[in-house]
């Protein structure tokens, strides 16, 4: 499932650590042409890669807090990054993100 963080008035923000997941999903389900278009969007500035070592303490906390989902690194990185950038996450994954959204740290948009 492709997830990304929306930035107010700016490009979509993608945690750099989930690029391999997103790229794999696009390539295997949509094809190489769509992967190239996605990478071109990054190159053109429509997406910004973010989420670094400064987010790791929050990522670790989220993984421990939601271990029963389980909430893994990729989802926790999206949440940590979103919290720093206004809290909006575009996703269809309500199973994981919906639980966190109910606690008020992020908002979900489809």
* CATH placement of domain 4-109: 3.40.50.1010
- Rounded-to-integer distance, Cα 90 and Cα 22, Å: 14
The per-residue pLDDT for 52 is 83
Residue 101 pLDDT > 50: yes
The CA radius of gyration of the chain, in Å to the nearest whole number, is 14
Write the DSSP symbol of residue 55.
G
DSSP H or E stretch at residue 89: strand 88-90
Question: pLDDT digit string (tens) for 36-88?
Answer: 999 999 999 988 899 888 999 999 999 999 999 999 999 999 999 999 998 99
Specify the long-range contacts of residues 92-97, CB closer than 8 Å, at least 24 apart.
92/1, 93/1, 93/3, 95/69, 96/66, 96/69, 96/71, 97/3
Give the domain ranges of the chain.
Answer: 4-109
Closest CA to 37 of 28, 26, 48: 26
The per-residue pLDDT for 27 is 96
Please give the distance of CA 108 from its chain centroid, rounded to a whole number.
11
Residue 1 pLDDT > 50: no
pTM: 0.81
């Amino acid at each position: 499932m492709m997830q990304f963080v929306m930035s107010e008035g700016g490009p979509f923000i993608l945690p750099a650590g989930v690029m391999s997941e997103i790229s794999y999903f696009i390539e295997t389900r949509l094809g190489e042409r769509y992967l190239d278009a996605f990478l071109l969007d990054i190159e053109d500035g429509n997406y910004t890669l973010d989420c670094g070592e400064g987010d790791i303490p929050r990522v670790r906390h989220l993984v421990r807090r939601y271990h029963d989902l389980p909430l893994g690194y990729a989802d926790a990185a999206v949440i940590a990054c979103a919290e720093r950038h206004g809290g909006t996450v575009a996703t269809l994954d309500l199973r994981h993100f919906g639980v966190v959204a109910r606690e008020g740290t992020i908002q979900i948009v489809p």
